[in-house]
Amino acid sequence: MIKRKIADLDLRQIAESGQCFRMTQKSEGVYTVSAFEKYLEIEQKGDLFFFSCAEKEFEEIWEDYLDLHTDYGAIKKSVDEEDAYLQEAVREGWGIRILRQDLWEMIVTFLVSQNNNISRIRKSIELLCHTMGEELYTGEGVKYYAFPKPEAVVRAGMEALSTLGLGYRDKYIFRTAQAVLDGSLDLEMLRAADYETAHRELVKQYGIGRKVADCICLFGLYHIEAFPVDTHMKKILETHYPKGFPHDRYKGCGGILQQYMFYYDLKAAA
């Protein structure tokens, strides 16, 4: 176990922010995360964090996953002092960071997210992993499941997918997995592409519209200029930015600000 003092990070806010569906609360202040075929427990006590992994694994995986090299304090300070709404959104979601998640997992996750809510998305992703993901164990014997690879999804087929309560989204997932295997969706090319190119390629795929492509770009490719607009964000923009959001002012970090706004709206609606 290792200990770190980290500013601008709150696990509860991230787990509830709608960007990560395999971070779950185990007990008060303790969260589990499954990513990149690894399992981690994190305990938060204020700005002190305790990670159930060795130093090497933390440096190779979790440091980057939690985006610890980005100065979120500076981003928050850049918010226009006269923008009362955005200032309040930042205060509400002060500990949110954009996690650097696996691209394939984010493609599937945001296909599932369409016309869905966070609770149902979480359940669907968990069931998908339990049904098609590889069963793994930590050194301490904790069982967990890897996110299923495209090969596993295609091998299981539509018959298995149709039992998971995914609705019409099951065929999106199946055909996208097929596209990865036949090369018509090149994950390595997407990882190397700029935002505009990646977005353009993603919307060519069956079931991926502009909003889902933006979510994949933001959460799966870390293009933090991506600014997904769903029904929540559309309402926010119409109410608080009728002349348009000032993207030019926040060039290069719009996706981070979008997360503060999205989270603030979720909390207000709860």
- Determine the Cα–Cα distance for residues 221 and 250; give it in Å rounded to an integer: 19
135: tokens are 């069963």
Marked catalytic residue, from 76, 211, 243, 267: 211
Beta bridge partners of 32: 24, 41
- CB burial class (10 A; 0-12, 13-18, 19+) of residue 258? buried
Contact yes or no for 102/65 (Cβ under 8 A): no
Q: What are phi and psi for residue 81, nearest 5 degrees?
A: -65, -25
211 is catalytic: yes
> What CA–CA distance (Å, rounded) separates 101 from 96?
14
CA distance 156 to 172: 14
Which pair of structure tokens corresponds to residue 88? 């309040």
Q: Can you state the percent helix, strand and coil of the chain, rounding each to 5?
A: 50, 10, 40
Strands (E), the chain: 2-5, 23-27, 30-35, 38-45, 48-51, 135-137, 143-145
Nearest to 250 by CA among 91, 70, 74, 78: 78
Give the catalytic positions in this structure.
Answer: 211
